[in-house]
Amino acid sequence: MPAKKATSRQPARELLFGNLWEYDPAPESAPAFIDAKYNLFINGKWTTPKSRKHFDSISPRNEEKLSEIAHAGLSDVDAAYQAASKAFTSWSKLPPADRGKYLFRIARLLQDRAREFAVAETLDGGKPIKESRDFDVPMAAAHFFYHAGWADKLPYLAPGRRVEPLGVVGQVIPWNFPLLMLAWKIAPALAAGNTVVLKPAETTSITALKFASILQEADLPPGVVNIVTGARETGAAVVTHPLAAKIAFTGSTAVGKWIQHTLAGSGKKLTLELGGKAANIIFDDAPLDQAVEGIINGIFFNQGHVCCAGSRLLVQESIAETVLAKLKVRLKSLRTGDPMDKNTDVGAINSKPQLDKIRALVQSGIDDGAEIHQAPWSLPNKGFYFAPTLFSGVTMSQRIAQEEIFGPVLSILTFRTPEEAVEKANNTPYGLSAGIWTDKGSRILKMATELKAGVVWANTYNKFDPTSPFGGFKESGFGREGGKQGLLDYTTLA
């Protein structure tokens, strides 16, 4: 047995950036150009809601009021559908290349005003400015650009059949990626020749309303896209309107089930992109430092407000301690706070109710006996914030291993064999996404085959692309968004 070197038992030196010195604030200062009050965008015009009611939209970063948003009632939603229905006749008959040109224009205009939209998105939703600037807005523009090119190539979409639009599509989108979800919904719908009634989430309507001004600049014919804002009742009115040929919904599984039940027998087409409880699986041969970054990105991207978030970490037992140690170190250098600061990694929780939900689930994790790890950060006094959180020693039966938390909370479990990893990963009603970290290509493909999930990321996580279909198995919904598969879900085959 070789003699141990005296130094070998000392822990590796680590660089602690956390509290050693303060970062200077690096606030984003570009203006967001948010109006004091927004009406409804119906038939190409700003329309006062018939209810005359508006509600306040606040910024989750400091709870300050940003704007007043119109509350659309039944008759407003009906007006939007009438406008969309009227516009469908001419829009669907437009030369396809011209439809494409409108979408190209929209993509370009969005790129022109990217900074302004990024700032508005961060103010309204609370996500770090570096994410809205580098991800949400550019990706939204990319979706329009990609689908623009499809408009005159529909005959190549489904060989042997004629592809036709459906009519008016009702779309209800969530608050976690407000502008990006709008792009995922509107771009394919318009490319295929449909017209749209879109309802943004109650807490994040502003970028959708700003987007209406881009539609005006692009000179999109009136009624092709109508934007109605409001809360749950407005969403219900959009979903149940008799003129809707299809409903596309992204949001919670509970609401998805309600929509499917409500639309039963209506003949409306339906696609649902719902919740998830994704497993991020780390094998002992994974490039560990890269994997740690992937785990962090997988769960803390957008404060964990991501349906495909890698919220269940499955680590091979032999490396579990090492990975946990590395994660705890990494947690200390994760900057949490004002999303408008360009150095911020984890921003504000989108709303008070969501913050309450996260707190309750984290408490259940503590009560169930899981071990909690948080970095010693002080969070801003005003606004909605939650410190990035790890739970180790989690078991499959605990709520934090089963329920979607939709916040910056990672549950860490272990496995021994690939079979056990698959078994645990698939042991959930959801099936949206999964991650695999290993050095072995053949193992990636084997695992990818056996995981019941619509998207599988290998040695990466939370990657998206307009060309790449996204959507879930099982109770994560049905239908795809992106790629030819997503576009076909906005058509009917003749």
Residues 313-342 that bind another protein (CB under 8 A): none
Strands 477-478 and 389-392: unpaired
* Letter string b/e over residues 334-362, b meaning 16 or more CB atoms within 10 A of that residue's CB: bbbbbbbbeebbbbbbbbeebbebbeebb
Q: Which of 46, 104, 258, 377 binds another protein (CB under 8 A)?
A: 258
Q: Which of 265, 376, 397, 442 binds another protein (CB under 8 A)?
A: 265
Place of tokens 């660089």: 15
Q: Segment contacting another protein (CB under 8 A): 115-123, 242-250, 362-370, 454-462?
A: 454-462
* The amino acid at 75: S
Give dist(CA 265, CA 299) in Å, integer.
39
Q: Quick check: 445 binds another protein (CB under 8 A)?
A: yes
Q: Segment contacting another protein (CB under 8 A): 55-63, 323-331, 417-425, 460-468?
A: 460-468
Closest approach, Cβ 20 to another protein, in A, equals 33
User: From the CB of residue 8, how many other CB atoms can be counted at a distance below 10 Å?
Assistant: 6
Count residues binding another protein (CB under 8 A).
Answer: 47
Is residue 273 part of the annotated active site? The answer reads yes
Residues 268-297 that bind another protein (CB under 8 A): 272, 274
Closest approach, Cβ 162 to another protein, in A, equals 11
Give dist(CA 443, CA 26) in Å, integer.
43
Contacts of 15 by beta carbon, 8 Å cutoff, 6+ apart: none
Q: Describe the crossing of helices 206-217 and 178-191 by its angle, rounded to 10 degrees.
A: 40
H or E element that contains 320: helix 320-332
Q: Which of 409, 477, 487, 490 binds another protein (CB under 8 A)?
A: 477
Inter-residue contact 431 to 474 (CB < 8 Å) = yes
* The amino acid at 166: L
Nearest by Cα to 330 from 279, 379, 285, 374 = 374
Residues 164-183 that bind another protein (CB under 8 A): none
* The amino acid at 178: P
For 477, the 3-state DSSP assignment is strand
Q: Quick check: 158 binds another protein (CB under 8 A)?
A: yes
**Cα–chain-centroid distance for residue 210?**
19
* Total H helices, total E strands in the chain: 16, 20
Q: Quick check: 493 binds another protein (CB under 8 A)?
A: yes
Q: Which of 51, 216, 260, 402 binds another protein (CB under 8 A)?
A: 260
Nearer to another protein by Cβ, of 177 and 457: the residue is 457
Is residue 450 part of the annotated active site? The answer reads no
Q: Quick check: 463 binds another protein (CB under 8 A)?
A: yes
Inter-residue contact 196 to 80 (CB < 8 Å) = no
Strands 312-316 and 409-415: parallel
Selected catalytic residue, list 202, 273, 475, 481: 273
Nearer to another protein by Cβ, of 343 and 460: the residue is 460
Token pair of 434, please?
A: 């999964």
Q: Quick check: 485 binds another protein (CB under 8 A)?
A: yes
Q: Which of 215, 279, 299, 444 binds another protein (CB under 8 A)?
A: 444
Place of tokens 């239908």: 479
Q: What is the DSSP letter of 336?
A: B
Q: Segment contacting another protein (CB under 8 A): 24-32, 171-179, 188-196, 443-451?
A: 443-451
Q: Quick check: 89 binds another protein (CB under 8 A)?
A: no
Q: Quick check: 62 binds another protein (CB under 8 A)?
A: no
Nearest by Cα to 186 from 84, 255, 74 = 84
Q: Quick check: 253 binds another protein (CB under 8 A)?
A: yes
Place of tokens 């503590």: 366
Residues 133-152 that bind another protein (CB under 8 A): 142
Closest approach, Cβ 263 to another protein, in A, equals 7
Q: Which of 108, 332, 352, 484 binds another protein (CB under 8 A)?
A: 484
Closest approach, Cβ 259 to another protein, in A, equals 8
Selected catalytic residue, list 307, 308, 475, 481: 307
Nearer to another protein by Cβ, of 168 and 255: the residue is 255
Q: Quick check: 458 binds another protein (CB under 8 A)?
A: yes
* Site for another protein, rule CB under 8 A: 142, 158-161, 253, 256-258, 260-261, 263-265, 272, 274, 429, 441, 444-445, 448, 453-460, 463, 465, 467-471, 473-475, 477-478, 480, 483-485, 488, 493
Which residues are catalytically annotated? 273, 307
